[in-house]
Amino acid sequence: MTDMTSSVQSTFVRPAQARRDIGIKRRYAAERRFKAYGLTAILIGLFFLFVLLWTVVSKGYTAFQQTAITLPIEFSEKIIDPKNERGANPAKLMTANYPLLVRDALVKALGIDPANKPLVKQATDMVSASARTQLRDLVVANPAIIGTTATVSLLAEGNIDSANKGQIDLTVAEANRKVKDQQIEWMKKLSETGAMAKQFNTGLFTYGASSRPEASGIGVAALGSLYMMLIVLVLALPIGVAASIYLEEFAPKNRLTDLIEVNINNLAAVPSIVYGLLGLSIFINFAGMPRSAAVVGGLVLTLMTLPTIIIATRAALKAVPPSIRSAALGLGASKMQTIFHHVLPLAMPGVLTGTIIGLAHALGETAPLLLIGMVAFVVDYPGSPMDPSTALPVQIYMWANEAERAFVERTSGAIMILLIFLVVMNLGAILLRRRFERRW
Amino acid sequence: MKSLKLTVAALVASAAFAGVAIARDQIQVAGSSTVLPYAKIVAETFGETFPDFKTPVVESGGTGAGLKEFCKGVGPDTIDIANASRQIKDSELETCKAAGVTEVQEVKIGYDGIVFATDSGNADLKLVPKDLYLALAAELVIDGKLVANPYKKWSEVNKDLPDVEIAAYIPGEKHGTREVFDEKMLAHGCKDAGADVAIKGLVADEKEAAKKCIAVRKDGLAIDIDGDYTETLARIASNKNGIGVFGLSFYENNADKLKVATVSGVVPSGATIASGEYPVSRPLFFYVKKAHLGVIPGLKEYVEFFLDDQMVGPDSPLAAYGLVPAPDAEREADRKAFTDGNML
């Protein structure tokens, strides 16, 4: 409207200039406005990315450190094997009362009266309950340690760890927090002597799931994810490439192939939870495969990734110029030779890029795994893809629902690890494309 | 489509080959997310104490979903135990029996308290079911008529309550906790307010009248939380005047950020819940397939270990986490019921 009135006005006032008014100013203004919109869009995107990264990193970086209490532990024979039966019955070493060793060491280090039961309990509560297995493994691996004193670094209990990192508000009334005044005093004492210190948290990478935050890690989840990625790679890459070569190079162009193409494009957009339902009914209920196993997860993710790979591969094949095919055919190569000796090698960077992006997508997927029982608490490492395991994003989801404070940082820590994996995979895809892609 | 079908067929064929003859040597558990933390502690300790058995796998996903998996049938490809934050329904038991799961053993593990809490910076809060009902009901009987809940502030409900806008974060309807909340707080408060009689006078159908008592307002002042307690905690952190519903164990782990409300003058704690003084609590269960006992290695030992006093007793890791142990005699009876093989 305003445009019209202004042009009408100018016609009326200065007829001579009207023909020369081609709206230069207006068009430049529009261009500037559009540029500003684009820039704003990018800035908003960057802002949210920054906020996301900031919240994750600021919450999560502490997860890579873990408080440990280093104590001289006396592996007293009286406690571990009072009747000296370990020669005849080595299983005795498995069930010995190892927490007593920790108790005695703490009582000694903190100078507590062993008869004061509540005080002793507060002291032992500072050390993770995982100390039992830690000491047991030490003794079982090396029974000669019995009767000697060795310095052992024990994990601090989750709340003590959080308090040591300043994540628990210690100013509130003692009844309202998990760390008691006496324990804070002991923490100070142990820190001064150097017995309590933060170490690099290797456990975060090696432990399986645990109800104790200090002893939980992404080990099982990472292995489960690795199994699934291998299955996806081994199945989806050959099937996807074969399907696309056939569709692109051999299949006749008719209604049926059009229908297939439409369906593949649709499948790429199907919500992933649908693949989970499919996996539950086909692989678990019909084929009788085990629940919670990485093999089922891998198969479900394969189905989910296939359309992505097929679409990327077909695009890569299409991008190879027809002159290459004609030249090969003209020199007497068969169609098969043309494809495998000339077309496919040239399309390979595109195929691999598509595969890696598909894999990265599959790595971050949780929804389909929920239905096949992989959102689970799994402690033992899976020996094979047939054993129960979880996946990295699932572990993040499960930690996010935990009540203990120490799981908050672990959730963000695990997100950082997953993000690093994804960045590395996507970088790999970009590098492959940069390095090997040919332009015509 | 054809190529995809072929692909699926090929995958199924390979799957069927791979799936042949797997004898499961690992207990599989699924069900309630309320029971999950307890089941995790027991499973982990079980794995550490019995090195001959593998650590059980515990899935979460909710009571209903767990029981559905449980009732799929008998055999190594079905789960052994379903955790439940409520008792199994008759309809679920029928599904079970129709699928061949005829022998189901019910095991009670203890009690769980449901608490109301606000941000730790707020003044002490004293709730009674009546006030909560008046604040959260969708419709109230005023001057002999059912009208939409007019109250916007807690102080309008009861002048002893704080003068802030009503904001309650309550568990969504898919949660087992919601049922307890409806029954122990809303229905109870409805009765205390005398509204149940008044509603019956206005609504002829008895079922409809009972539903009116527990219908929660949908005008944004009562917010359903479909996620877990961590989400409720985050909501309270952003709205300091909000009141949230938590499990006792979750509250105890976050007591530095939250202030718990008394219900009818009773402070929630393990002791007051065990004695029955604190009104909002419920028993927690799990269900075992009897046919799997002795077939799945370690299943019997796991259940016995779970019921042992070193796990669910007054001085046990589960009690330390927030489970309210059943009284001594009741625990003894539960153990006996399992060894006797009592079935539903």
B34-79 pLDDT, tens digit per residue, is 899 999 999 999 988 888 899 999 998 788 888 988 998 888 888 9
On whether the CB atoms of residues A58 and A416 are closer than 8 A, the answer is no
- Same domain for B304 and B270, yes or no, is no
pLDDT exceeds cutoff 90 at B228: no
Q: Do residues B178 and B72 both lie within one domain?
A: no
Q: Which member of B19, B49, B230 has the closest CB to residue A289?
A: B19
- B320 and B277 within one domain: no
If 0-12 CB within 10 Å is exposed, 13-18 middle and 19+ buried, where does residue A421 land?
Answer: middle
- A132 to chain B: closest CA residue: B48
Q: Which ranges in B226-343 belong to alpha helices (H)?
A: 229-238, 248-253, 270-274, 299-307, 309-312, 317-321, 328-340
Which amino acid is residue A208, in one-letter code?
G
Task: Report yes or no on B209 lying in a domain.
Answer: yes
- Whether pLDDT at B100 is above 60: yes
| CATH number reported for the structural domain that contains residue B59 in this entry | 3.40.190.10
Query: What are the two backbone dihedrals, phi and then psi, of residue A192, each rounded to the nearest 5 degrees?
Result: -65, -40
- Domain assignment present for residue B70? The answer is yes
Tell me which chain B residues have a C-beta less than 8 angstroms from the C-beta of A388: 26, 28, 57
| Domain identity same for B145 and B174 | yes
**B323 interaction partners in chain A (CB closer than 8 Å):** none
Q: Which residues of B touch A308 (CB under 8 A)?
A: none
Determine the Cα–Cα distance for residues A353 and A429; give it in Å rounded to an integer.
5
CB pair distance less than 8 Å for A377 and B39: yes
- Inter-chain touch A401–B49, beta carbons under 8 Å: no
Q: Are residues B190 and B234 both part of a single domain?
A: yes
Chain B: closest CA distance from residue A299 (Å): 8
Query: pLDDT, tens digit, for every residue of B122-164?
Result: 888 888 888 889 899 888 888 878 888 888 888 888 888 888 8
Q: Is the pLDDT of residue A437 over 80?
A: no
Based on the fold, state whether residues B135 and B276 are members of the same structural domain.
yes
Residues B127 and B237 occupy one common structural domain? yes
Query: For the segment A225-267, what is each residue's pLDDT rounded down to a tens digit?
Result: 999 999 999 999 999 999 999 999 999 989 999 999 999 999 9
Contact with chain B for residue A273, Cβ under 8 A: no
pTM of the model: 0.83
Mean pLDDT computed over B243-257:
87
Q: Are residues B94 and B236 in the same domain?
A: no
Output A43-50 pairs: Cβ under 8 A, ≥24 positions apart: none
- The half-sphere exposure of A381 on its side-chain side, counting CA atoms within 13 A, is 9
* Distance from the B251 Cα atom to the nearest Cα atom in chain A, whole angstroms: 8
Residue B17 domain-assigned (yes or no): no
- Is the confidence at residue B196, as pLDDT, over 90? no
Rounded percentage of chain B residues whose pLDDT exceeds 90: 19
If asked whether residues B163 and B275 sit together in one domain, one would say yes
Q: Which amino acid is at A158?
A: G
Which residues does chain B have within 8 Å of residue A295's beta carbon, measured at their own beta carbons?
A: 15, 18
- For residue A333, the model assigns a pLDDT of 93
Q: Domain boundary at B281, B300, B325, which?
A: B281
In a domain, B276, yes or no: yes
The answer to whether position B77 is within a domain reads yes
Confidence of residue B21 (pLDDT cuts 50, 70, 90): very low
Do B1 and A263 count as a contact with CB atoms less than 8 A apart?
A: yes
Residue in chain A nearest B233 by alpha carbon: A403
**What one-letter code names the amino acid at A97?**
N
pLDDT value, residue B19: 44
Q: Which residues contact A367 (CB under 8 A, 6 or more apart)?
A: A271, A272, A273, A276
Q: Look at residue B8 and tell me if it is in a domain.
A: no
Confidence (pLDDT) at A82? 81
Asked whether the predicted pLDDT for residue B170 surpasses 60, the reply is yes
Q: Residue A290's closest CA among B27, B336, B165, B310?
A: B27
Q: Provide the residue range defining the domain that includes B291.
A: 23-112+282-340
Domain A219-436 sits in CATH at 1.10.3720.10
Same-domain pairing of B143 and B52:
no
The mean predicted confidence, pLDDT, of chain B is 85
- What are B301-326's pLDDT values in tens digits? 999 999 988 888 888 888 888 888 88
> Would the CA dihedral through B272, B275, B281, B286 be positive or negative?
positive
Taking CB atoms and an 8 Å cutoff, what residues of chain B touch A290? 19, 22, 24, 77
- Taking the CA of residue B156 and the nearest CA in chain A, the distance in Å comes to 30
